[in-house]
Structure 1
Amino acid sequence: MSVEKTITDLLDKINADPKGIQGMSVVYHFQLSGEEAGTYQVKIGNNQATYSKEALEEARCTLELSDENFIKLVQGNMNPTTAFMMGKLKIKGEMGLSFKLQTILQTYQA
């Protein structure tokens, strides 16, 4: 599965049932390496999530990882804490938002 398909599938689930993002207003950047390298932006606000294949706004939390690990993370096949400790995931910005992202991902993985 591609990074773009992974993101759009996740956002479809979020926007169909925004309970996991209620009251949030945040921009995340995912700086990915690998075949699908680039910066991907996810913006959450007004009980909906949108995606852009470039950094259009300043992010409060940026996650750096490989495209393969990003897909594993979103699908629930990689523990974010373990990935961080092993250096497979780097976080810049507000650390608390990375924990909130983990909660969001867990909400929509089922």
Structure 2
Amino acid sequence: MSLSTLDKLTSRFDAQAAQGMDDVFQFHFCDAGSHYLVIKDATLEVQEGEHDDPSVSLSMDTDTLKGIMNGEVNGMTAFMTGKLKATGNVMLATKLTSLFPAS
């Protein structure tokens, strides 16, 4: 399930928004294991598992990610209500919607 969500993100990736970035987004899904996105110089790589040194780690269920990415869930609200937990460079998480704009 989460992999299909991440596959959809890949097709929405905006390379221009990622210019000059060198960051790792670690996702811990309580219902689908761990995956991470490596964004470096306008390229995207999706990997399964744990990264040694992520820029930001996000913990949630796959429905929360789906809702945030399609605009049905406000990321800040999800964070404040405990549906989304973030550690590391939390401000990076706010870039997800510009890196993966809704169609």
Whether these two folds match at TM > 0.5 is: yes
2:25 to 8, 22, 28: 28
User: Quick one: distance in 2 between partners of 1:99 and 1:68?
Assistant: 18
More off after superposition, 19-28 vs 5-14:
5-14
Paired amino acid for 1:28: F
Q: Note the residue ranges of structure 2 that are not aligned, 5 or more in a row.
A: none
Paired amino acid for 2:91: G
Q: Note the residue ranges of structure 1 that are not aligned, 5 or more in a row.
A: none
2:102 to 89, 94, 109: 109
1:90 equivalenced with 2:94 (yes/no): no
1:79 to 63, 74, 81: 74
Report the structure, 1 or 2, having the larger helix content: 1
Map 1:19-58; keep pairs closer than 5 Å: 19-34=16-31, 36=32, 38-58=33-53
TM-score (norm 2): 0.88
Shift >3 Å, 4+ stretches: none
Residue identity (%) = 24
Distance 1:8 1:57, change over 3 A: farther
Decide whether the 8 Å contact of 1:80 with 1:102 is kept in 2: no
Decide whether the 8 Å contact of 2:64 with 2:73 is kept in 1: yes
Q: 1:91 is paired with a residue of what secondary structure?
A: strand
